[in-house]
Amino acid sequence: MTSNPAVRRLADWSAAELRALADEYGTPLYVQDLDRTRQNFDRVAAAFPDADVHYAVKANAGRAVLRALREAGASAECAAAGEVFRAIEAGYDPREVHYTAVNPPDADLDYVLDAAPEATFVVGARDTIDRLAERGFAGRLALRVHPGVGAGHSADVATGADAKFGVPHDEAASVLGEAAERGFDVVGIHAHVGSGMLDESDVASHREVVERLVEVARESPVDLSFVDVGGGFGVPYHPQEEPLDLESVAATTRDVLADVDAAIVVEPGRYLVADAGVLLTEVNTVKPTDGATLAGVDAGMTTLLRPALYGAHHEVRSLDADAADRDEDLVSVVGPICESTDVLAEDRRLPHPERGDLLAVGNAGAYGIEMVSQYNSRPRPAVVAVEGGDDRLVRERDELSTLTAPER
């Protein structure tokens, strides 16, 4: 049996293999290991043997990733019409799709009703139920509950505490009853604590969220076929952080839901893809300053937004063959964008950088390629998938002409 460790650190990637990929495909380059992606799914499926695992497509919606996870047994959680479109294109059965509609534009509702009417519509406002009723929909409906408890790697992603998401938990049971009376096929309830739970206190918040769901399930006038406890399973971004105790999250979830007669649904995104991806970038400029030496690279906040948006930490490793022989230096890795927030990594101990060095940025598989932009008219990067010892280009790098192609 092949081993399936709880975490793959940046140091575990083969420098020689990553160098070969950068040589072949250029930089900046996202590398996504589909075998590791499947391993991550397998650990979740093993920890939650009775649950349906819906992959939160927003973490990485690339077709290769969606197909690999579908083959591994995942269903899909989609936040927008575009994600539903991608899931169907990747072969997901619409019946396996949960469409978690957050303030859905009309065009999104109309598309999903047309393309995937058998999907489960997970709604977070009475208003959305009205809009579905106006469209004559009487299909599978689940209610997103606002639990009032959040957790995550940053307050910015502690969704459970944000009233934007879901119906207040003390109103949920009556909304479920009203929806059933209006002819919807009311099938479940959902809540999500936030993104990036890692330590015991985060797991305690997750427990509180599931407890709120149990209260709603008990008061519900409708029999529910599932309780969806969300995703948010975190990964360690710092080398000194321990991996999430997935067994404890699973045991907590099962324990709290023990007396509820409904299937469990989980919807992890990050956990399945983060440590299966790295971003490769090349140093083009080395600049001493009064503080850290600046290593200017060809990836920036347009390539990987997380550090600029959340102050998120991503490990950086020099892949140069002689890196280990160089003196260490205090280095900040900065991108090519005309913004002061365009910093990928600040004040890191790294081998003294040289122009042409290849750097790897860890845990880039989640919310990396998904959050790219073309700001400063930067072409979006390429993506390579590795699988079974082979590699293949799964997303082409933008050409400069891609930038103006949609303009009329």
CA distance 358 to 401: 27
> Is residue 121 a contact residue for ligand LLP (CB under 6 A)?
no
> Is residue 195 a contact residue for ligand LLP (CB under 6 A)?
yes
Q: Which residues contact 365 (CB under 8 A, 6 or more apart)?
A: 30, 32, 33, 37, 59, 60, 273, 274, 275, 276, 277, 278
Choose between 13 and 271: whose C-beta lies nearer to ligand LLP.
271
Subset of 319-348 contacting ligand LLP (CB under 6 A) = none
With contacts defined by CB under 6 A, name the span among 20-28, 106-114, 192-200, 217-225 that binds ligand LLP: 192-200
Distances (CA, A) of 354 to 145, 340, 377: 52, 22, 26
Choose between 266 and 295: whose C-beta lies nearer to ligand LLP.
266
Q: How far is the CB of 367 from ligand LLP (least distance, A)?
A: 3
Q: Minimal CA–CA distance to 115: which of 142, 78, 146, 151?
A: 78
Other beta carbons within 10 angstroms of residue 135's beta carbon come to 12
Q: State the amino acid at position 376 in one-letter form.
A: N
CA distance 67 to 34: 10
Q: Minimal CA–CA distance to 193: which of 168, 162, 214, 236?
A: 162
Q: How far is the CB of 100 from ligand LLP (least distance, A)?
A: 5
Choose between 64 and 198: whose C-beta lies nearer to ligand LLP.
198
Choose between 32 and 318: whose C-beta lies nearer to ligand LLP.
32
CA distance 87 to 92: 5
> Is residue 100 a contact residue for ligand LLP (CB under 6 A)?
yes
> Is residue 230 a contact residue for ligand LLP (CB under 6 A)?
yes
CA distance 26 to 366: 21
User: How many chain residues are in contact with ligand LLP, going by CB under 6 A?
Assistant: 20
What dihedral angle (degrees, nearest 10) is formed by the CA atoms of 364, 369, 373, 377? 90
Cβ–Cβ < 8 Å for 275, 365: yes
Taking CB under 6 A as the rule, which mask of x and - marks residues 266-305 in contact with ligand LLP? -xxxxx----------------------------------
Subset of 143-162 contacting ligand LLP (CB under 6 A) = 157, 159
> Is residue 99 a contact residue for ligand LLP (CB under 6 A)?
no
Q: How far is the CB of 179 from ligand LLP (least distance, A)?
A: 19
281 - beta bridge partners? 359
Decide: residue 181, CB within 10 A, 0-12 exposed, 13-18 middle, 19+ buried: exposed
Q: How far is the CB of 234 from ligand LLP (least distance, A)?
A: 7
Cβ–Cβ < 8 Å for 381, 397: yes
Choose between 371 and 393: whose C-beta lies nearer to ligand LLP.
371
Cβ–Cβ < 8 Å for 63, 394: yes
Q: How far is the CB of 192 from ligand LLP (least distance, A)?
A: 4
Q: How far is the CB of 120 from ligand LLP (least distance, A)?
A: 13
Q: Which of 146, 169, 192, 207 binds ligand LLP (CB under 6 A)?
A: 192
CA distance 104 to 102: 5
Q: Which of 21, 59, 257, 337 binds ligand LLP (CB under 6 A)?
A: 59
Other beta carbons within 10 angstroms of residue 244's beta carbon come to 22
> Is residue 33 a contact residue for ligand LLP (CB under 6 A)?
no
> Is residue 196 a contact residue for ligand LLP (CB under 6 A)?
yes
> Is residue 104 a contact residue for ligand LLP (CB under 6 A)?
no
Residue 338 appears among annotated catalytic residues: yes
Q: Which of 41, 92, 233, 237 binds ligand LLP (CB under 6 A)?
A: 233
Q: Minimal CA–CA distance to 300: which of 371, 229, 400?
A: 371
Q: Which of 232, 236, 277, 365 binds ligand LLP (CB under 6 A)?
A: 232
Matching residue, tokens 């999104």: 108
In this structure, what token pair is assigned to residue 104? 């859905």
Catalytic residue among 324, 338, 400, 405: 338
CA distance 81 to 99: 8
Choose between 60 and 318: whose C-beta lies nearer to ligand LLP.
60
Residues near ligand LLP, by CB under 6 A: 56, 59, 77, 100, 157, 159, 192, 195-196, 230-233, 267-271, 306, 367
Q: Which residues are catalytic?
A: 338
